[in-house]
Amino acid sequence: MLGWTKGLAYTLKNLSKEKVTYDYPNEPLPLPDRFRGIQKFYPDKCIVCNMCVNICPTDCISLTGKKNPDPEKKGKVIETYDINFEICILCDLCTEVCPTEAIVMTNNFELSQYTRGELYKDMAWLDANDKNVRKENKV
């Protein structure tokens, strides 16, 4: 008899306390500032220098570029940019080395898919991945 009154008293005492659970996935989880989530890509900032490709420890980035079609501008523009998230380890090296911050980490960690092929993300997908860009990476 005493046992259930103890339990009830404990429940009542904790009812008024602040919740320690989150309403995920209806609300995004608060993550640390330096969380390394799925990259956001800014095609206009990319100078096709290949530094991200060269530093990637798992060879999961592939890109192509072409000469800038504007005769008044030098350099290259990006044509395709793909990351294979089957093998990307979200190590942050590609974003650290990028001289123009064309690729940055976000707080987005939701990558679950039904097929492995869906883990290949192209430039359009990475460009649109801006729901959860880290504060310091917002333009």
Tell me how far, at minimum, the Cβ of 4 lies from ligand SF4, in Å: 53
For residue 8, the minimal CB distance to ligand SF4 (Å) is 51
Nearest by Cα to 38 from 116, 109, 113: 109
Q: What does 7-57 look like in DSSP terms, one character per residue? A: HHHHHHHHHTSPP-S--TTTSPPP--TT---S-EE-GGG-----HHHHH-T
Q: Which of 38, 40, 98, 107 binds ligand SF4 (CB under 6 A)?
A: 98
126 scored as a contact of ligand SF4 (CB under 6 A)? no
Q: Which two tokens stand for residue 78?
A: 């990006």
Within residues 22-61, the interface with ligand SF4 by CB under 6 A covers 46-52, 55-58, 60-61
What is the torsional sign of CA 53, 131, 116, 43?
A: negative
- Closest CB to ligand SF4 among residues 6, 34: 34
102 binds ligand SF4 (CB under 6 A): yes
Q: List the structure tokens of 79.
A: 């044509």
Q: Which is nearer to ligand SF4, 29 or 87 (CB)?
A: 87
Residues at the site binding ligand SF4, with contacts judged by CB under 6 A:
46-52, 55-58, 60-61, 63, 83, 88-94, 97-98, 100, 102-103
